[in-house]
Chain A
Amino acid sequence: EAGVVQSPRYKIIEKKQPVAFWCNPISGHNTLYWYLQNLGQGPELLIRYENEEAVDDSQLPKDRFSAERLKGVDSTLKIQPAELGDSAVYLCASSLIGENEQFFGPGTRLTVL
């Protein structure tokens, strides 16, 4: 069974540029999560989807971050414009509704110069 797929794995951009990350969850998983992991810290939830609905986006900085999951399968997280402090690893995870185990992708490491 394929795991959670994320792309790109690495991204380097100049500050003020836009950037987007893509995630394809495990087939059949209707819950999808985006986490932010700063260096030396644990992941922090940005947004959680159940199917195509964002059910928890309270930690998403909506002035520059946006996310979508239009067909309830894969998802895109966007930052526009990126700031130096956005340099981090962006993790995607998925699970079945009602199941407490989350499966994580390898993450996208973003460097903002």
Chain B
Amino acid sequence: GNSVTQMEGPVTLSEEAFLTINCTYTATGYPSLFWYVQYPGEGLQLLLKATKADDKGSNKGFEATYRKETTSFHLEKGSVQVSDSAVYFCALQEYGNKLVFGAGTILRVKS
């Protein structure tokens, strides 16, 4: 079946550091890809998405590019803030809108 693999956390960075969270997927066809973020005590929120190969999703300074050749959708941000501390989930969308999530990566940003 389809699956998503994320880098294990926690990832701990200093404020203004560069962030990369790796995500690779296994799927038949070309699913839509998503990054969701979960802040403490809150529900998952869509951060960004890409629906076809070479698309770049971006939001709030975060970016991810749909790479068909490497089946990857790595999340990047040039300068993280303490407020970015959260759990980040990579996901793919199967037929029927079912989301398949990775295990999540905890990000901690220190001031």
**A residues at B contact (CB < 8 Å):** 3-4, 31, 40-45, 48, 55-56, 91, 93, 95, 100-107
Contact = CB atoms under 8 A, between A and B. Distances in A.
Given A100-B32, A100-B49, A101-B49, A45 B99 contact: yes
Contact of A106 (B4, B36, B43, B102): B43
A56 B51 CA distance: 23
A42 B104 contact: yes
A67 to B, nearest CB: 16
Given A40-B103, A100-B51, A56 B32 contact: no
Contact of B41 (A4, A31, A103, A106): A106
Interface of B: 4, 32, 36, 41-46, 49, 51, 89, 91, 93, 96-99, 101-104
Given A48-B97, A56-B96, A106-B41, A42 B102 contact: yes
Contact of A104 (B43, B49, B98): B43
Contacts of B44: 43, 91, 93, 104
Secondary structure of the B contact surface, majority rule: strand
B99 A31 contact: no
17 contacts: A3-B43, A4-B43, A42-B4, A42-B91, A42-B101, A42-B102, A45-B98, A45-B99, A48-B97, A91-B43, A95-B97, A100-B97, A101-B46, A104-B44, A104-B45, A106-B41, A106-B43
A103 B96 CA distance: 16
Contacts of B96: 48, 55-56
Given A42-B91, A100-B32, A48 B98 contact: yes
A104 B89 CA distance: 13
A102 B41 contact: no
B42 A102 contact: no
Given A42-B89, A42-B103, A100-B32, 5 more contacts: A41-B103, A43-B89, A48-B98, A101-B49, A103-B46
